[in-house]
Amino acid sequence: MWADGAIRPGYSLWPHGASQLGTGERAWLLTADFVLGGLLLTAFAMGVRRVLRGGRGAA
């Protein structure tokens, strides 16, 4: 996402939100970033749960 913002003409993170990258012909990049980030976060949570299962500090 940040790489796309860096090469997009006229885009600056300070006055524009990250959601501004979700417009135009390269909007699929922002969607792919969010999906990939969600999958990685889910995998991390599953890994932490697996490590803490039944041990000290398990919820």
For the chain, domain boundaries: 2-52
Q: Which of 2-6, 7-11, 43-47 has the highest mean pLDDT?
A: 43-47
d(CA 40, CA 26) in angstroms, rounded, equals 22
The whole-angstrom separation of Cα 3 and Cα 21 is 11
Distance between CA atoms of residues 59 and 33, nearest Å: 30
Q: Are 49 and 31 in contact (CB under 8 A)?
A: no
Entry pTM: 0.64
16, two tokens:
């524009």
For residues 5 and 21, the answer to whether their CB atoms sit within 8 Å is: yes
- For 11-28, what is the mean pLDDT? 71
The confidence score (pLDDT) of residue 31 equals: 86
